[in-house]
Structure 1
């Protein structure tokens, strides 16, 4: 379950209530994404709070953008979170889709490439391995709880990006806009082949989609409202055109059937993205997950 971090008017009480519900429910992971020029919470600060608010659930960034951070400081922050959470951190990384976020923090949009991200991951892994990245007295700590650092997932929707990440990632943290399971399975096959060619264990295969659970037309209208707000960098007429087929809206029974179809193609995990901060949305999905 993803936190509703892109919804308006959030406060600590709402985020804490969501985190605790997810931790108590039969979800595998608690996820959240990163944006800069938006009013969502800052991702690493939120990670520290989630480490304290939860005890069981895996904490998954979906996704952080390394190019928006100094790689040594990012490695130190993530190692600290891995320590605070008792080794429950998984780090999804991506290049991001908005130049405005790069410009807001003084990052060069020309670094919005998979090669640049891989270079920064290499620095982070050196830090987590206890290597000195400069001629310092001591290496950068603290050491992560997980040897070698947290599991890394690549945020991707395409085969080229997937193949490129096989050298450093442990799996995928993808997104499906139209819930085309055949296309998703093709991407999973690309990942399986790329990881095998790299001589690595089978990749963790995760994907995500927006959701609204309920009866009648209200859930689809909820998804549409969310997309208009979240996709504010895209002309509204384009968002309106894609909204009827983007994400998922329907009943509990329909969601249960859909998740089973994802399981059938070998999906290890689905990261559901809420389109409203109403905690009842998470409760209703928890009932579906408990019955899978």
Structure 2
């Protein structure tokens, strides 16, 4: 979803949800920010559950430390019910202290340990345990037994290893689309999950994208980064923009997908840099061709 783009309205969000749901995609994803003019992530979850019927709904990512864990568990379980069990929850510690301060959360809790503690509470809620002094457990029970699939939003090996206890896989990000580095991180995850006696992790990564011809796609990514990375001096964003995210033609996107498929990537979450619906339609054409035997 183009949730970090300006001037979003009901019609735009509805159109994107419908096109993704009717297309060849596996998931519909969106992230959480507080001190930004994006839609609130959990409200949007309810809307997207109603607007779609097929794709999985993936939060990439929600930050547990910005929420009460019991209430967050209830909200996510409700989203799982409304979507008919199609929810996957990507969780991360976030990258902006201003988001923590905006809701009165302590930036000192921006740690994997603090996130893991909150995940433990949510899993108890989803298991039907009484975690509060109340007559009944907190519900509703999620459609998916034990709760939604959990992915850890990360780019680093240490984070991957610490999340192997509770996560079902990765919701990673690659800034420069370095396939070798991504493969190394996937190997860390495979080893960490194996060490915990668990099955193979779900391996997902993401990157910003702009599809088109000539210089327009790269300029589109650049504009998006300047807006989204508003905490970084513009001259630094200008310097990093030429090598951040992906910009190119349909054929070039197909080649990128092939490279990530070759290292065992289960899923790629493409992050929009425009709310123009033509962007997702052009990607859909590439994905349809890519998935044909």
TM-score band, normalised by shorter chain: over 0.9
Pick from 260, 267, 270 the counterpart of residue 258 of structure 2: 260
Q: Secondary structure at the match of 1:291?
A: helix
Distance 1:29 1:14 in 2: 18
Question: Match for residue 167 of structure 1?
Answer: 165
Question: Match for residue 105 of structure 1?
Answer: 103
Distance 1:233 1:92 in 2: 23
C-alpha displacement of 1:237? 1.1
Q: Secondary structure at the match of 1:144?
A: coil
Distance 2:251 2:233 in 1: 34
C-alpha displacement of 1:135? 2.8
Question: Match for residue 66 of structure 1?
Answer: 64
Distance 1:75 1:234 in 2: 33
Question: Match for residue 96 of structure 1?
Answer: 94
Distance 1:249 1:39 in 2: 25
Which ranges of structure 1 fall in alignment gaps of 5 or more residues?
A: none
Distance 2:26 2:57 in 1: 9
My pick for the range that moved more, 132-141 or 78-87, is 132-141
C-alpha displacement of 1:25? 0.1
Q: Secondary structure at the match of 1:31?
A: strand
TM-score by length of 1: 0.99
Question: Match for residue 141 of structure 1?
Answer: 139
Distance 2:86 2:247 in 1: 30
Question: Match for residue 150 of structure 1?
Answer: 148
Q: Secondary structure at the match of 2:79?
A: helix
Which ranges of structure 2 fall in alignment gaps of 5 or more residues?
A: none
Question: Match for residue 215 of structure 1?
Answer: 213
C-alpha displacement of 1:134? 2.1
Equivalent pairs, count = 290
C-alpha displacement of 1:63? 0.2
Pick from 6, 30, 33 the counterpart of residue 31 of structure 2: 33
Question: Match for residue 223 of structure 2?
Answer: 225
Distance 2:88 2:126 in 1: 14
RMSD between superposed Cα atoms in Å? 0.4
State whether structure 2 residue 237 is matched by structure 1 residue 239.
Answer: yes
C-alpha displacement of 1:235? 1.1
Question: Match for residue 11 of structure 2?
Answer: 13
C-alpha displacement of 1:91? 0.1
CA offsets 1:173-205 (integer angstroms, 9 cap, x no match): 000000000000000000000000001110000
Q: Secondary structure at the match of 1:75?
A: helix
Distance 1:95 1:265 in 2: 26
Distance 1:184 1:217 in 2: 27
State whether structure 2 residue 129 is matched by structure 1 residue 121.
Answer: no
Pick from 279, 282, 291 the counterpart of residue 281 of structure 1: 279
CA offsets 1:246-292 (integer angstroms, 9 cap, x no match): 00000000001110110000000000011000000000000000001
CA offsets 1:203-230 (integer angstroms, 9 cap, x no match): 0000000000000001000000000000
Q: Secondary structure at the match of 2:59?
A: strand
Q: Secondary structure at the match of 1:172?
A: strand
Question: Match for residue 42 of structure 1?
Answer: 40
Distance 2:132 2:153 in 1: 30
Pick from 5, 21, 24 the counterpart of residue 22 of structure 2: 24
TM-score by length of 2: 0.99
